[in-house]
Amino acid sequence: MRDLAASYGAGLPGRDTHSLMHGLDGITLTFMPMGQRDGAYDPEHRVILINSQVRPERQRFTLAHEISHALLLGDDDLLSDLHDEYEGDRLEQVIETLCNVGAAALLMPAELIDDLLTRFGPTGRALAELARRADVSATSALYALAERTPSSVIYAVCAVTRQDDESEGAGGGKELTVRASSASAGVKYSLSVGTPVPDDHPAALALDTRLPLAQDSYVPFRSGRRMPAYVDAFPERQRVLVSFALPAVRSEGDPDRPEAAGVAS
């Protein structure tokens, strides 16, 4: 699916909305309110529908996702293999996953990611640049960047959230928490969504000062355990994009478990 989408993308004149549709002969694009749905592809009427009421970057990824549906339906060999291997709900789940893979390959080609990794390294800045240049959400960029990163790195998108304080019966204070996380190949774990980032952590300091910060620090797992890492934090608006470069992956266990090796308290 990645190769199929990449091959399609290589023949496009650009990556804007009009150009993305350039290779789909006879298929039209319509923006309209769609309630809770982001989009759909109707092969019978040969039309791609996109929800006009969601954020532009979400519309863009959805368009690439629906284009991937059209590409998949047009590849008899791949479609046949899928139907031979899966059925029912599982088939639908696999197809949706593959179309997300196709969307990422279409919007964030390997050459772009490799160029950013060469220029900026596996950093929060590289994550920010990928999201900006591909015009996708930081979360979408995070997974694509992690997949192409050759070294042992955990990426995270962190933002300030309000915490409920039940003891006071009202909204509590605010804290920086993980919104999304993914790791490069070979790293067996990532940060759980909702993991709090301590106030004295470089990621929190970068957001407070609005200045990029890179230094030796740690990965702040939810359990309170800390794994040594070189942290690169890049603040952007109300969030901070972070990379945790690990010196070595010494255990395949869960670092939140007491028996995991290589974790400093």
* 160, β-bridge pairs: 176
- Secondary structure of residue 68 in the 3-state scheme: helix
For residues 129 and 133, what is the distance between their CA atoms, to the nearest angstrom?
6
Closest CA to 122 of 244, 17, 258, 239: 244
Q: Is 44 a catalytic residue?
A: no
Angle at CA of residue 245, ends 244 and 250, nearest 5°: 110
Catalytic pick among 66, 129, 147, 236: 66
Widest Cα–Cα separation across the chain: 60
For residues 201 and 205, what is the distance between their CA atoms, to the nearest angstrom?
6
> Which residue is it, tokens 């919104």?
179
Which is it for the CA torsion 87, 89, 92, 98, positive or negative?
negative
| Residues in the chain, total | 265
Catalytic residues: 66
